[in-house]
Amino acid sequence: MVKIRDIELGEFPLLLAPMEDVSDPPFRALCKKHGADLMYTEFISSEGLIRDAAKSVQKMDIYEYERPVGIQIFGYDIESMREATKIIEKTNPDIIDINFGCPVKKVTCKGAGAGMLQDIPKLVRMTDEIVKATNLPVTVKTRLGWDDQSKFVVSTAEKLQDVGVEAISIHGRTRVQLYKGDADWTLIGEVKNNPRMRIPIFGNGDIDTPEKAVEYKNRYGVDGIMIGRASIGYPWIFNEVKHFMETGTHLAPPGIRERVEATREHLLMSVNWKGPTLGVAEMKRHYTNYFKGISHFKELRMKLVTSFDLNEILETLDYIAEHENEFQFV
C-alpha cells in the first residue's frame, strides 16, 4: 500500500498531473470518476494568494468527492510561499504540493517553478520553511534538472526528503527540454532505487498507453505514475491502465456516445463552476481532444469551438450522439 503520511493511495496509484488551464474542478471530477487516485489543482501563485487575486483564490476550490486532493503552489520568495501555505491550509486540502517543475518562461524567468532548479540550496530552504509552516503533508513536483549539465535530481530528492517532504513526483525532462524529445526515466529510477529514499517516488512523462505504464512500472520500480497530457480529453486512461495492469487485457475504448456524455458533463460542470461565459469559452480547448481521431468530423468540431451559445453546443452534442453510426475512428 502506497501512503503519503496516513493517506492510502492503493498498491500502485495513478496521479493526475497539475496542468495550468486544464486540471480545474470539472476536469478533475471526470478523472476521479474514471480512476485517478490522487489529483492536484492547477498551480497557484503564492503572490496571487497573498494579494487575494480572484483567479488564484478560485483555483483553491476543492470538493469532497475529489479527495484525496492536493493544492499546488509556486513562487520565488520564501516568505511569500510561507504565507501562501498558511492561506491554503485553511481550505483544508489533503496535501500541499510545491511546483519546482513548470518550464514556462514567464514563471522561470522570475526564478519560480523549474527556475528554482538553478538554485538548489534555496529550493531546499524554501521547502524546509513550507514543511515547518503547515501540519499537512508536503509533496514536490520537479524535473531532472535545469539542463543536461545540472541533472541533480538524485541528490536533490535526498535533501527534500531530509527536510520533511513526504512524496516526490519527477518529470523525466530538464527545464531546457520543455516537453520536447522523449522523457528519460533513468534518473527517476535512480531516485526510487536509492537506498536512502523512504518516501514514495512517482514518475511522470510520456505515459500515454497502458503498455507503457506497465513497462515503466516494471523497469524503474516507481511507486506510482503521474499522467498529464494523455488525460486531456481522455480521462478514461486511468481505468484503462488499471485494467491492463490487473488483467493484461484492454478495456474497450470509449465510443462516440461515451465521448459525448463526458463532454456534456464536463461542459455543464464548467458552466456551473465558472459561469456561462467563461465556462463555455474555456471548454473550447477540450473539444478537439474529446473527439480526436474521428473521421469526417471537422465541420462539427468547428461548430463546437466557434459557438458561444450553451444551448447550441448542447444541440450539436445531441446531434453527434444521435448520428454516432456515421462516424469512424481512424
Task: Give the Cα-Cα-Cα angle 294, 316, 272 (nearest 5 degrees).
Answer: 110
Q: How far is CA 46 from CA 55, 59, 112, 243, 264, in A?
A: 12, 12, 10, 38, 33
Characterise 74 by phi-psi region: left (phi > 0), alpha (psi -120 to 50), beta (else).
beta
Cell of 317: 452534442
**Chain CA centroid to CA 184, Å:** 19
Q: Which residue type, as a one-letter code, is found at position 208? A: D
Q: How far is CA 227 from CA 10, 33, 93, 137, 146, in A?
A: 16, 15, 20, 21, 21
Instruction: Please tell me the distance from the alpha carbon of residue 99 to that of residue 74, in angstroms, as a whole number.
Output: 5
For the chain, the C-alpha Rg in angstroms (whole number) is: 20
Q: Which residues are catalytic?
A: 102
Check: CB of residue 13 under 8 Å from CB of residue 37: yes
